[in-house]
């Protein structure tokens, strides 16, 4: 007699067979059999979040750093809904994520019980793929397909909706290895017409390279450095990148400016734009009376590698074809600036001290918003590091991203620079950092405002703001005591208002294991 | 020459013309013209939330208590997504809510900028009505229609998507009063066949009345009391109610049990079920091997008033037709129990002390989850109060509901009883309570667990939980210091672990204006 397992056991075994070994979770009643199956499955790690936006954002951070998906476990439509904003960011990042969303038993849905909602409709806008097993026998192939989808195109968001009666059904464990094997057969990538691109490149007077996705990996940047060394071409990263290799030894490039008019001015300086992993640049927002299509008229644009495809080999092939010598010596000496001193506490002094103290192979998660510029500037030639950005514009991503990145990379320090407004959306992530003893140092830029909106309010031409408008962008009444907030969730928290105090606290935080938060009152 | 205003000014003026005077808001760049229009419009109050789930949950609480919609102001698809879980609860409550969701300028959407998403698709699952002006001229009629929709059927969720170029367009202010007048013409309600119901009622041996929606208002309960007094019929409230009039002078009724088998046993005791404002009862979840359709076979069920329709007049008409005398004297004497003493701190002792200290006309917001039972039991004949419940099952509703209820009812004390797990979903609501100096006393039952899930894990038959499963339902590692957390956001917070300390702190909190939080370690 064949012994039987539950549908949930099949799910977890199939995830495992595909290499998924980490589950960020916030389950409810309809997911209890999955909880139980994870419990029985030693190789699946469960990381609890107190809010679903933490769960999905952590899966994003994990996917960016490990290059493979974690799964999430979410409770019905509302649980998924709470996670959608960070799935939006994950999808824009091209992160691999597999969501497991519990649903009512199939025979229960017609009763329209209080927690019933259209999960499929909720999932689609922020998922690249949505599946729902019709019978327990579908669970294994569909789970494997979900992981395949998540791993495709460089990283996508796949959502599997699991009815409770599929999760608790009894069935024999299916053979998984042949299913997994069949799913991993990949078709060869479409190669660009390298010859045409090389010719256009040589004919252009001022070609520009715009890198995104895998185009800002260490390997891609090394290949881009060969092109830059021989031709002196301008090279930019996209404005927001999922994982950007920076610091000493990596080609020092700037991101395309956020503001449409500056981006357009930058693009106007070239006569050929070559995209590697990057999308054709667009304005973040439209503004009254300003152009929103920032591509200069007539600018030729060629795609070397489409978004979501590997870039380093193609960049390398292009460099070979253009007879670029091997990897050039970096022109910049390694720099470890001295700690900032005798300066006020600001993004500038913080950025300088951060560059001074940055450990090797740190991961910097950046939701600094208006306070990102100086830290980015100062660290350009600091110790080698990865820089993770807010790719979808939905604030409240940084703390969860840091949580997921630290889960994926236990040996590396994660430094999360965060605006105070954005930090409050998913502040619950601090608790998961404390629970898992993750090496995350969060620096909150406490300027007590949605500072970017004060700026945007002026830019959209909405007139001079009165007291009510100003108060709607001001979060200083009352002041949020971030250090105390961190402590209340088990994270070491310190509030500083001088650069000297900041230096001391950052140095201590980086030398101790476990999570820390520095409230920098600027 | 006619002076022109912006589309956003038309929006705010139209909301005002329909009686909407409160906006719970968390705006972004695409909503800056609406911020500016609110700024120019003295009658529109803006209440800022740090997270969109706070904003929508507060609108729900406001709608339940004021009987009219507030509006929300949300930033694009991700901002709406963050608010969806509490819109789900609002929709299940039958609360009037008008969401204003900014969108990119119409001519910007095709560029698929980072924050672009399918807002319409996201809105539909949790909205009863969705509209989007195609031109600025549509704004006035569509806003008025949104409010009409929100006010229809006893309260619905209406979502208006406002493209940024509609918001910033210039146009003459349209005449609003005629549009508003046309929209408020209502068609007469369908009346039930009272004679047939009265006959069935008289022929039944054990009729039962199930009240929901407006059926648990003070007026409806007074009419139900006449029927109960004459016929001794059993009367229940739905398990979860949007606003339930309780306490001395109101017919003391029980909610239908949450657990399917108990609900079914209760229903088996009657031979006729009459629904007034209530839906036909269903099980919250299905469980393996247990019946999920809890209506006993063959039980006759008649609808006196459909969900979302007024009930009190119909109940009153039925009582008249059945020759019930006027409002009976309440059979119970008013009770103000003594403060609990010499007991351990528990939901029972807390419930007793709460009943002892409850001010007149308090509003109790209940997301106590497994700790709701005793407070509900003890307050059944306490000072008259309203009891607001979690209607859609999506936890993380209580703190925002309390915030909105207190905004709507400045003269009344709001007491929010909350589980610790649920409180962490939208903990940011505390900050809005501090900012607006709202009279809310939150009691967190700190049992350091998703206690209901420990119970559900056993109920779904998922086997004996191991260490990993137990840890996924345990939130005590690390312990969350709720009192400190409250203080970090400007709310007075105290942690207590004895009933004597609790009594003292609750008494003090109720005698002082402004928000308080009591972390009751049980």
Of the CA atoms within 13 Å of residue A463, those in its CB half-sphere come to: 17
Q: What is the mean pLDDT of each run of 10 residues along chain B (522 residues)?
A: 90 98 97 96 97 98 98 98 98 98 97 97 98 98 98 97 98 95 80 93 96 98 95 96 96 95 95 97 93 91 95 96 84 78 97 97 97 96 97 98 98 97 98 98 95 86 87 94 98 98 98 98 96
Q: Which of A29, A118, A394 sits opposite B456 (nearest CB)?
A: A29
Beta bridge partners of B160: B100, B131
In this prediction, residue B1 carries a pLDDT of: 58
- Among the residue ranges A452-456, A504-508, B359-363, the one predicted with the least confidence is A452-456
Model confidence at A332, pLDDT cuts 50, 70, 90, reads low
Rounded mean pLDDT of A160-169?
A: 98
Domain with CATH 3.40.50.970 in chain A: 4-183, 347-521
Q: What contacts A408, CB < 8 A, 6 or more positions away?
A: A22, A61, A62, A65, A66, A70
Q: Left, alpha or beta for A166 (phi > 0: left; psi -120 to 50: alpha)? A: alpha
Distance CA B235, CA B225 (A): 9
| pLDDT band at residue A190 using 50, 70 and 90 as cut-offs | confident
Say yes or no for a CB contact (<8 Å) between A112 and B79.
no
The fold of B4-183 is Rossmann fold (3.40.50)
Run of H or E residues at A107:
none
For the segment A235-245, the average pLDDT, to the nearest whole number, is: 98
Are B35 and A282 in contact (CB < 8 Å)? no
Return the closest-CA partner of residue A199 out of A310, A300, A278. A300
Question: What average pLDDT score do residues A131-153 get?
Answer: 97
Query: Using CA atoms, how far apart are residues B381 and B253, in angstroms rounded to an integer?
Result: 10
| Contact status of A105 with chain B (Cβ, < 8 Å) | yes
**Ranges of CATH 3.40.50.1220 domains, chain A:** 194-321
Q: What residues have CB less than 8 Å from B191, skipping those under 6 apart?
A: B314
Which segment of A334-338, A456-460, B513-517 scores lowest on mean pLDDT?
A334-338
In this prediction, residue B332 carries a pLDDT of 60
Task: Taking residues A417-432, report their average pLDDT.
Answer: 98
Q: What is the pLDDT of residue A92?
A: 98
Q: What is the mean pLDDT of residues A290-315?
A: 94
pLDDT of A291 reads 84
User: Nearest-CA neighbor of B78 among A88, A127, A76?
Assistant: A88
What number is the average pLDDT over the span A256-272? Answer: 95
Per-residue pLDDT, A331: 55
The per-residue pLDDT of chain A, averaged, comes to 95
- Are A376 and A397 in contact, with CB atoms under 8 Å apart? no
Residues of B in contact with A472 (CB under 8 A): 25, 27, 35, 38-39, 46, 48
Residue A482 near residue A420, CB atoms below 8 Å: yes
What pLDDT, on the 0 to 100 scale, is given for residue B454? 85
Q: Quick one: which of A52, A157, A31, A24 has its CA closest to A103?
A: A31
Contacts of B105 in chain A (CB under 8 A): 285-286, 292
Is B39–A465 a contact, with Cβ atoms under 8 angstroms apart? yes
Mutation to test the B interface, candidates A488, A489, A494, most B Cβ within 10 Å: A488
Architecture of domain A347-521: 3-Layer(aba) Sandwich (3.40)
Query: A34 pLDDT band (50/70/90 cuts)?
Result: very high
pLDDT band at A333 (very low <50, low <70, confident <90, very high): low
User: From residue B300, how far is each of B239, B262, B275, B316 by CA, in Å?
Assistant: 20, 19, 11, 22
CB-CB: which of B85, B122, B457 is closest to A125? B122
Annotation: CATH topology of B194-321: Rossmann fold (3.40.50)
Q: Mind telling me how many Å the CA of A498 is from chain B's nearest CA?
A: 21
> What is the C-alpha to C-alpha distance for residues A221 and A117, in angstroms, rounded to an integer?
46
Q: Check CB contact under 8 Å for A286 and B104.
A: yes
From the list B143, B84, B81, B87, the residue with the least C-alpha distance to B115 is B81
Contacts of A33 in chain B (CB under 8 A): 460, 462
Tell me: pLDDT of A346 over 70. yes
Facing A487 at nearest CB: one of B115, B425, B484: B484
Q: Provide the phi-psi class of B228: left if phi over 0, else alpha when psi is between -120 and 50, else beta.
A: alpha
Q: What is the per-residue pLDDT for A1?
A: 58
Q: Is B431 on the interface with A (CB under 8 A)?
A: yes
d(CA B161, CA B168): 14
Chain A closest-CA separation from residue B45 CA (Å): 9
pTM of the model: 0.98
């Amino acid at each position: 007699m064949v012994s039987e397992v539950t549908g949930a056991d099949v799910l977890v075994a199939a995830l495992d067979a595909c290499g998924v070994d980490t589950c960020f979770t916030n389950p409810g009643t309809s997911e209890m059999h999955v909880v139980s199956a994870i419990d029985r499955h030693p190789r699946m790690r469960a990381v609890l979040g107190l809010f679903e936006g933490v769960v999905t954002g952590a899966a994003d951070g994990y996917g960016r750093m490990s290059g493979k998906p974690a799964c999430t476990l979410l409770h019905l439509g509302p649980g998924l809904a709470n996670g959608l904003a960070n799935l939006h960011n994950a999808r824009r990042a091209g992160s691999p994520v597999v969501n497991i969303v519990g649903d009512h038993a199939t025979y229960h849905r017609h009763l329209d019980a209080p927690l019933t909602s259209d999960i499929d409709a909720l999932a689609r806008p922020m998922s690249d793929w949505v599946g729902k097993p019709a019978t327990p026998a579908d669970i294994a192939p569909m789970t494997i397909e979900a992981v395949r989808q998540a791993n495709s195109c460089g990283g996508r968001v796949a959502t599997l909706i699991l009815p409770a009666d599929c999760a608790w059904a009894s069935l024999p464990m299916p053979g998984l290895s042949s299913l997994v094997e069949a799913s991993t057969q990949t078709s060869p990538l479409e190669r660009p017409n390298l010859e045409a691109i090389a010719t256009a490149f040589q004919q252009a007077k001022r070609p520009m390279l715009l890198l995104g996705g895998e185009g800002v990996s260490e390997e891609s940047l090394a290949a881009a450095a060969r092109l830059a060394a021989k031709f002196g071409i301008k090279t930019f990263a996209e404005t927001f990148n999922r994982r950007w290799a920076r610091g000493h030894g990596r080609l020092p490039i700037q991101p395309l400016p956020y503001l449409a008019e500056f981006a357009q001015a930058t693009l106007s300086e070239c006569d050929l734009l070559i995209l590697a992993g990057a999308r054709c640049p667009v304005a973040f927002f439209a503004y009254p009376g300003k152009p929103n299509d920032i591509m200069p008229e007539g600018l030729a644009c060629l795609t070397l590698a489409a978004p979501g495809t590997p870039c380093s080999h193609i960049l390398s092939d292009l460099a070979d074809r253009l007879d670029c010598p091997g990897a050039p010596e970096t022109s910049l000496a390694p720099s470890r600036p001295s700690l900032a001193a005798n300066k006020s506490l600001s993004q500038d002094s913080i950025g300088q001290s951060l560059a001074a103290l940055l450990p090797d192979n740190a991961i910097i998660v950046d939701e600094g918003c208006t306070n990102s510029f100086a830290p980015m500037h100062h660290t350009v030639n600091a110790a080698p590091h990865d820089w993770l950005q807010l790719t979808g514009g939905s604030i409240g991503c940084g703390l969860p991203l840091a949580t997921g990145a630290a889960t994926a990379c236990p040996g590396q320090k994660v430094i999360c620079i965060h605006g105070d407004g954005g930090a409050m959306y998913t502040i619950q992530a601090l608790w998961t950092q404390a629970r898992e003893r993750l090496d995350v140092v969060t620096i909150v830029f406490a300027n007590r405002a949605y500072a970017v909106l004060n700026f945007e309010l002026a830019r959209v031409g909405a007139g001079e703001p009165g007291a009510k408008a100003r108060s709607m962008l001001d979060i200083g009444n009352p002041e949020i005591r971030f250090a105390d907030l961190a402590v209340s969730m088990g994270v070491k928290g310190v509030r500083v208002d001088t650069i000297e105090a900041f230096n001391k606290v950052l140095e201590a935080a980086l030398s101790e294991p476990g999570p820390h938060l520095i409230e920098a009152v600027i």
